[in-house]
Amino acid sequence: GIQVEQSPPDLILQEGANSTLRCNFSDSVNNLQWFHQNPWGQLINLFYIPSGTKQNGRLSATTVATERYSLLYISSSQTTDSGVYFCAIDFDGGTSYGKLTFGQGTILTVHP
């Protein structure tokens, strides 16, 4: 079946370090999003990125749709970056209805 695999499952960093989170997917996509779930449980949309590269401050994301992966880069990490990062995908069956399939997430802990 359709799969969304995120790695690593857990990541521990010191403040100021850089990191790369990866999302592999098993089929072509027409909708890919990255989310941050903070320690209070809120889900924040970071990027809508079915292809190409985007940047927003210290965060950037790249999706290579032909090779079926997406990367989320966090530079100069801060303690407020802690939480769970999810990759979510709507697979390409024609029109996208935003029916997202979520990966299992990467748990990021940033120590001061």
Nearer to other proteins, 81 or 90 (CB): 90
Smallest gap from Cβ 89 to other proteins, in A, equals: 11
Q: How far is CA 100 from the centre of its chain?
A: 13
**Residue 94 to residue 106: CA distance in whole angstroms:** 29
Nearer to other proteins, 51 or 79 (CB): 51
Smallest gap from Cβ 31 to other proteins, in A, equals: 6
Measured between its terminal Cα atoms, the distance across the chain in Å is 41
Q: Which residue ranges make up the site for other proteins (CB under 8 A)? A: 4, 30-31, 33, 35, 41-45, 47-48, 50, 86, 88, 90, 95-105
Tokens standing for residue 97: 């209805």
Smallest gap from Cβ 26 to other proteins, in A, equals: 15
Alpha helix stretches (DSSP H) within 34-106:
none
Q: Which residue has the tokens 């790369």?
A: 20
- 66 CB-near residues (< 8 Å, 6+ apart): none
Smallest gap from Cβ 101 to other proteins, in A, equals: 8
Nearer to other proteins, 31 or 63 (CB): 31
Nearer to other proteins, 101 or 109 (CB): 101
